[in-house]
Structures are given as structure tokens and as C-alpha cells.
Amino acid sequence: MQWRALVLGLLLLRLGLHGLLWLACGLGPGLGFYQRFPLGWGWPRVSGPDGAPPPAAGPPWLPRGPGRGPGAAGPGVCGAAHWGFARGRGPDEYERRYSGAFPPQLRARLRDRARGMFVFGYDNYMAHAFPQDELNPIHCRGRGPDRGDPSNLNINDVLGNYSLTLVDALDTLAIMGNSSEFQKAVKLVIDTVSFDKDSTVQVFEATIRVLGSLLSAHRIITDSKQPFGDMAVKDYDNELLHMAHDLAVRLLPAFENTKTGIPYPRVNLKTGVPPNSKNETCTAGAGSLLVEFGILSRLLGDSTFEWVARRAVKALWGLRSNDTGLLGNVVNIQTGHWVGKQSGLGAGLDSFYEYLLKSYILFGEKEDLEMFSAAYESIQNYLRRGREACNEGEGDPPLYVNVNMFSGRLMNTWIDSLQAFFPGLQVLIGDVEDAICLHAFYYAIWKRYGALPERYNWQLQAPDVLFYPLRPELVESTYLLYQATKNPFYLHVGMDILQSLEKYTKVKCGYATLHHVIDKSKEDRMESFFLSETCKYLYLLFDEENPVHKSGTKYMFTTEGHIVSVDRHLRESPWKEFFSQDGGQDQEEKFVHRSKSQELRVINSSSNCNRVPDERRYSLPLKSIYMRQIDKMVGLI
């Protein structure tokens, strides 16, 4: 009896200690440990690309306060000033700050501030920039393509002279319940936006920002249930769908004359693929078109668009390494040769993974899930470094690094801010524990700079690339983690993000890109995803009652944050067998000859979400299960 009591006692003591440690971390797994409890677990396990050990003691990727070592939490880095325990205030401080209900009044205030942020950016765009593509928020002017310098891809890839910001913002207006402005904006788009432009744009950017938005708005307008209020548009005759079709047809030349089926990265909307086009494309750009192209195909009853996008995904998939299962970040579309052999979760690959899973969620094609599962496994095997569990066991806290796709060897010691989307994707697949862990790491970086530097070097514990163009990825993951866990911690994170956006990026006529996350100098640019994603996710985080959460319809977000309801109609694929039978060859000929003369046939898409077999994969409110996991981790059960 005595030994049992002893074992039980020890077990309880251990659980208690774990609970305390976790609480001390404020659900910021791993980070808090090192900063407050120098436990001395063998830190530098990950070495540099040259095999050199990291410069300082302490886990190499933890952000530290300026000039301090591990154990000394710097201001704003998950540090004493924020978390409070290092000065001996104890876990009660965590309780006070992060558990229990987040005051409803505060939440409502934050929701209104998120809406205000959107309205300020949107109104200024309409007043000073429309019909141009983007707002220059510092000088209160509009910005279009850089005609003087066609090689300025940073601008010209995205700005097509098609009122990009207005188009990209449509469904945010609906989600915020602003029916009059939504209707006005839709009419404006119908009346003034044309794709018959001499603009050379990136196929990926035009697809996710413009095509995706048109399709999302079309479905909001034609939804018979109108969950967001009256978003019906008088005399609407599927114009947005027609526009989406027109744009997609203009993008199709990118898929022609490519030996692998992987599309050219850019097309001119009037003339097709420019002569002397580069044969190299990034994986995400070529392989993340399936959601938008698939929706379009299924709404039109025309397989062409889905077929070309699917062919590209399969071609890329076929080029993965036999040994690691990983893909590189840049490929030659004619030879299939990997030009960029870096495999990671950020730029060049991010939405490729995202769309494997989201295509499955939306269309229910098993092959998409199979590809995603295999990719996820390779990611876990080769990209994830550090210990298995986030907050316990030996080794460094986990991190996803950039490796050579063939050898799995570390290629560099930076991660990029785009990678912060990954915890959100992990929520969708149900890997919430790991999502919590990775998100905490990015949040710690945000705390340090009040933004995410474009690249952060985890070995040097300093930014490698210093700008922050108002990207949404961290708030997107924060929102999805909140949906999964309902832990008020994520509301605090959202509040923090909102406050720093207001403090560091708000300017005279909108919100400006941070040129330098340390000195907070700015650039005169407000990218369209600030309104379509950053503001939307912030708003939804604080708007518990939003129809996105409460209407009974299940929504999925495209990679540009556009909502698409998941329903039976999108899971009907009349051409499925056709795809697999002819192996592609016949279809290719048909696609080349048919695409431009397609009759527009609209399948009524407004009927609502019926329960579909794989609902558990995308249904977020698994709250009780996840809460249980978290409770377990904090030692409550």
C-alpha cells in the first residue's frame, strides 16, 4: 500500500509541476520555459547549414530581448513585462490574464476596433485610390501597375489595373454585415472593372485575390439563406461569375505549351504568355490554383479549369523526392527540373500544402487528402526539428526549418513570416497541440517587434529581412486556434496584434507596410490582403455571433481569406471519370480548343450546406476535445 501511495504522490507532484510550468508559460509552450526556468536541457541541437553550432547558449530559435541571454526575458518577448512571473507574481497572474471569460464588453470593443480598422482603410482607398489597384496610405494616392518598369514584379505581379483592393475586399464587407456598401461595391465592380487590360500579372495572385473574391461574392449574393443580412443585389444576373469566367479564360494560356503541365507564372491579360517568358515558377504559385479553378468549373459545369489546375498539382506531386517525399520551391515548367531545392513551409510552398487539404475539404476528392497526408508526414519527418512534445521531454522546442528536398539537410537558419499560416492549417487537420506550439513561437516574435519580420533567423535570434507588409498569417492562425480551443488566450493575442497594428502602422490615410520592424519606418503601400484577410480575421476573432460561426453553414477560407460555403454542389464532379480515363491527353486537346468558346452554364449554387461524409475534417467546433487536451496540458485534469 505504502509504495502505491508513494508512486501516486510522485505522480501528482510531477503533474503539479508540469501544470505550474505550463501555466508559467502562459500557453506559450517552450518559450516561457527557457526564459524563466533555465533548466539546462541540452540547447543547441540544431546546427547551422555549415554544421557550426549556434552562437549562444539557449535554444537557438528563441527570440531574446536585446542583449540578453536565456533566462532573462526581454521586454515584449514573452517576457517578464508581459507574462509577469519572473518577478515572482506566480501562476495566479496567468489566471488573472488569460483564463476565465474574456469580458464581453472588451470583446465587443475590439470587434468594433477591428471593423474601424477595415473601414478606415477601405474608405480611404475609395476616396483617394479607386479605381486604381492599391492605396498609398501615406500620401493618400492610388497606385496601379508600374508601367515604367515592367521588371518591377513586386508591384506588377499583383496590380493588374483592375481595382484590386475593391475586388479583394468584397466578402469582408458582407462578413461585417454592411449590406449597403457590399451592394454598392458589387455594382461598382460590375460596372467598372474589366480584365481586358494590357497587364502582365502573376497567375497565382490574380487567381487568389481576384478570381477567388469574385466567386466568393457571387456565392454570397446567390445564397438563398442570406446569412449576412440582405446581400442580394438588385437585378443580379451572375455578372460576377461571368467576370470570374472571363478572367480565368485569360489565365488559361499559362497552361498551354508547357511540357509538364505546370503553368507559366505570368500572363498578359490581353495577349497571353509574353514572349521570352521565364520557364521557372514557384511551387505554391503553380500548385495552389485548384480551389478557385475547381469552384469555377463546378459552378459552370465546365471541367477545363479544374482539369488544368489539377494537372499542375499532379505534375508537381510527381516531381517530389523519392527519398524524402518533399518538394522544392522553384521548378522549371518544361524540364521538371528543380531549380530551387529548398523545402519549407513558407514562401514558395505554403499554399501548395494548404490547397491539398482545402481542395479535399471542398470537393471531397480522396486523392487530394492522400497527397496532403503524405506531404504532412514528410513535413513532420524532415522539417520538424526539436522534441516531440511541445512542452515536455528532452531536446529543444519544436520548429519547422528549411531543408534540401533531396537530402533533408538544413539549408539555412531562417524562417519566414508566411509560415505563420501553418498552425491554422494544423487546426484543420486536427493537430492542435502542435499548432499551439508553433503559433506560440510566432507570437513570441510578434511580441518582440510588434510585427513579424519577413524573415527571422532563429540561430542569430534576429530578423534577416526586416519589412512587414501587414500580412495576415499570424492573426489567421490565432483566429483558427481560438475557434478550436475557445481559449481566451487567443483573444489576448488578437488584442495585442490589433494594438500594435494601430500603434505602428496607422498613417494619415490607412495602414502602411512596415519597412523596418525595429525602427518602425514605413513604406507607402497598403496591400489588398490587409482588408481581405488581416482585418477580416481580426474581426471574426472578436465577433463570436458572426454568421460565419453561427449560421449553420460551414465556411472554408481560401488562401486569400475569401469565404466559400462547403456544400454538396461543390462535391459533385460529373467529369471525374473522364479525368482518370483518358489520362489527360484527349482532355488537353479539348481544353485548348474549347476553353475560349465555352458557353456559360450556371449550376445553381445557392442551396445550402448539407452534411457531407467527411465533415469532421473541417468542422471546427471540436471544442470540447481540444479543451480537454489543453486542460490536460495545463494539469487541470
Q: Which residues bind to ligand DMJ, rule: CB under 6 A? A: 208, 351, 418, 471-473, 529, 533, 559-560
The yes-or-no answer on residue 367 being catalytic is no
The yes-or-no answer on residue 454 being catalytic is yes
How many of the other CB atoms lie within 10 Å of CB of 2?
6
Q: Cβ of residue 7: shortest distance to ligand DMJ, in angstroms?
A: 51
Strand order in the sheet with 280-282: 280-282, 330-332, 338-340
Q: Is 450:482 a contact under the CB 8 Å cutoff?
A: no
Q: Cβ of residue 208: shortest distance to ligand DMJ, in angstroms?
A: 6
Tell me the three cell numbers of residue 285.
504559385
Give the separation between CA 387 and CA 231, rounded to whole angstroms. Answer: 49
**Looking at beta carbons only, is 233 or 345 nearer to ligand DMJ?**
345
Q: Cβ of residue 164: shortest distance to ligand DMJ, in angstroms?
A: 11
Residue of 158, 161, 182, 157 lying closest to 172 (CA atoms): 182
Q: Cβ of residue 413: shortest distance to ligand DMJ, in angstroms?
A: 22
The yes-or-no answer on residue 350 being catalytic is yes
Residue of 15, 16, 23 lying closest to 90 (CA atoms): 23
Element (H, E) at 462: strand 462-465
Q: Is 634:491 a contact under the CB 8 Å cutoff?
A: no
The yes-or-no answer on residue 133 being catalytic is no
Tell me the three cell numbers of residue 136.
498609398
Give the separation between CA 415 and CA 442, rounded to whole angstroms. Answer: 10
Give the separation between CA 314 and CA 231, rounded to whole angstroms. Answer: 38
> How is residue 468 annotated by DSSP?
B
Q: Cβ of residue 18: shortest distance to ligand DMJ, in angstroms?
A: 36
List the catalytic residue out of 133, 134, 181, 205: 205
Give the separation between CA 626 and CA 635, rounded to whole angstroms. Answer: 14
Q: Is 391:633 a contact under the CB 8 Å cutoff?
A: yes
Q: Cβ of residue 428: shortest distance to ligand DMJ, in angstroms?
A: 15
Q: Cβ of residue 561: shortest distance to ligand DMJ, in angstroms?
A: 7
Q: Give the torsion through C-alpha atoms of 617, 621, 625, 631, to 10 deg.
A: 130
**Looking at beta carbons only, is 342 or 559 nearer to ligand DMJ?**
559
Give the separation between CA 236 and CA 242, rounded to whole angstroms. Answer: 11
Rg (CA), the chain: 24
Q: Residue for cell digits 461574392?
A: 217
Positions marked active-site? 205, 350, 454, 473
